[in-house]
Amino acid sequence: MTRIDLRSDTVTHPTPAMRRAMAAAELGDDVFGDDPTVNALEARGAELLGKEAGLFVASGTMGNLVSQMAHLGRGQELIASAESHIVQDEAAGHAVVVGASVRAIPDRPDGMLDLDAIAGAFRDPMDPHEPITGLVAIENTHAHSMAQPLTVAYTRAVADVAHAHGVPLHVDGARFFNAVVAQGVAPADLAGPADSISFCLSKGLACPIGSVVVGSRDFIWRARRARKLLGGGMRQVGVLAAAGLVALSDGPDGTIARLADDHANARRLAEGLADLPGIVSPGGAAQPSEGRLDPARAATNFVVFRVERDRAAFLDALERRGILMVAYPHGTVRAVTHYGIEAADVDAAIAAVRDALAETAGTAPAPRPS
Ligand SMILES: Cc1ncc(COP(=O)(O)O)c(C=O)c1O
């Protein structure tokens, strides 16, 4: 049985062009700063996003962590969305490593945070009881809202609030290029208002490993020190950076433009699922809570939904049919389209979901979150 793995876009394997580039990569010792392939990747990432400098790091989590370490001092506070990866899924690195607290703002179903809520979350620096706000962070695409892409105008508006209070804006752009492609904007325009962006190579862009952090030269110098502190100084790591250079290249081997296929496939999946009795809108934070799954919310490469069944039994029935999806927060199910998933796989997944729903009919769904 062929397996169709829709758990995440992190399951992608490198393209043939990436494998060739990795095998042929020119290498040096990156801690000495002389791996030419890493240097080229960092320069390419910075150039694409219109920033002064870049830094290759092991993961999206490390990208967010070194960015926080570079922006924040111990005892400071970060404003971020309650459902964000930084707050929910990075093992409290902000507290454990950075020494910073979080002021969490409720997420909206459109993936945005209320600007007044952000403005109201700043601390009073004259009050010695309070931590000092040092950073605002947003996530683009915004995963928990079914990966909604955030606009240039919104990013600019958040940056204006942050800058008016004298603090920088960091964008967790794990799927930044999905947001770029979905909206047809230039990467540098979407990155422009932010002071730092971390984007993942290892998700939709199909590289095996890595993220790139970009920002000003001073910021990247501090982030580089932070990466060393974390043990993230790597040596002949051009062998991995080579895949990233292919991903970010213009022309047929690059993997940015093809994200449009993933978005079309996600939409196709959402349309197919929305018609099935037993599939409903996801509910929970950052999602509409009632009624039919709205396929228009599949704006990038995520489909998040709720099954009116026992979720574990449903996922198990699906897996026995060769389709992998994943349990997602607030009792939901997530499917993610990516390199290697074709329209025919999506159609096979819809058919398998129909069968799995029939097999698990009558099992008890988890209560909807209030
Ligand atoms: C929005 C977001 N940010 C950051 C990360 C962290 O990336 P990594 O798994 O490479 O640490 C993820 C991972 O899924 C993510 O979805």
pLDDT in tens, 88-97: 999 999 999 9
Q: Using most ligand atoms within 8 A of CB, pick from 88, 89, 148, 301 the residue to mutate for ligand 1.
A: 89
**Nearest to 113, CA basis, from 75, 132, 76, 87:** 87
- Cα separation of 11 and 27, whole Å? 26
Calculate how far, in angstroms, residue 181's C-alpha sits from the geometric centre of ligand 1.
19
Calculate how far, in angstroms, residue 61's C-alpha sits from the geometric centre of ligand 1.
6
**Is residue 93 within 6 Å of ligand 1 at its C-beta?**
no
> Relative to the CA of 59, which ligand 1 atom is closest?
10
Q: Using most ligand atoms within 8 A of CB, pick from 139, 196, 203 the residue to mutate for ligand 1.
A: 203
pLDDT at 2: 85
Instruction: Give residue 134's pLDDT band: very low, low, confident or very high (50, 70, 90).
Output: very high
**Would you say the pTM of this structure is higher than 0.95?**
yes
> Relative to the CA of 142, which ligand 1 atom is closest?
1
User: How do residues 213-265 score in pLDDT, each as one tens digit?
Assistant: 999 999 999 999 999 999 999 999 999 999 999 999 999 999 999 999 999 99
User: How do residues 301-345 score in pLDDT, each as one tens digit?
Assistant: 999 999 999 999 999 999 999 999 999 999 999 999 999 999 999
**Is residue 80 within 6 Å of ligand 1 at its C-beta?**
no
Is the pLDDT assigned to residue 288 strictly greater than 80?
no
Helix axes 343-359, 259-274, angle to 10 degrees: 30
User: How do residues 75-108 score in pLDDT, each as one tens digit?
Assistant: 999 999 999 999 999 999 999 999 999 999 999 9
Is the pLDDT assigned to residue 287 strictly greater than 80?
no
What is the number of other CB atoms lying within 10 angstroms of the CB of residue 128? 6
> Relative to the CA of 84, which ligand 1 atom is closest?
1
pLDDT at 283: 84
Is the pLDDT assigned to residue 369 strictly greater than 70?
no
Phi-psi region of 323 (alpha: psi -120 to 50; beta: other; left: phi over 0): beta
Calculate how far, in angstroms, residue 210's C-alpha sits from the geometric centre of ligand 1.
11
Q: Which of 86-95, 275-284, 286-295 has the lowest mean pLDDT?
A: 286-295
**Is residue 239 within 6 Å of ligand 1 at its C-beta?**
no
Is the pLDDT assigned to residue 53 strictly greater than 70?
yes
**Is residue 179 within 6 Å of ligand 1 at its C-beta?**
no
**Is residue 172 within 6 Å of ligand 1 at its C-beta?**
yes
User: How do residues 152-201 score in pLDDT, each as one tens digit?
Assistant: 999 999 999 999 999 999 999 999 999 999 999 999 999 999 999 999 99
**Is residue 143 within 6 Å of ligand 1 at its C-beta?**
yes
Calculate how far, in angstroms, residue 332's C-alpha sits from the geometric centre of ligand 1.
18
Q: What residue ranges define each of the domains in the chain, with the CATH number in brackets?
A: 11-247 (3.40.640.10), 258-359 (3.90.1150.10)
Contacts of 307 (CB under 8 A, 6+ apart): 278, 279, 280, 314, 333, 357, 360, 365
Instruction: Give residue 364's pLDDT band: very low, low, confident or very high (50, 70, 90).
Output: confident
- Cα separation of 177 and 248, whole Å? 10
Instruction: Give residue 370's pLDDT band: very low, low, confident or very high (50, 70, 90).
Output: low
Calculate how far, in angstroms, residue 60's C-alpha sits from the geometric centre of ligand 1.
5
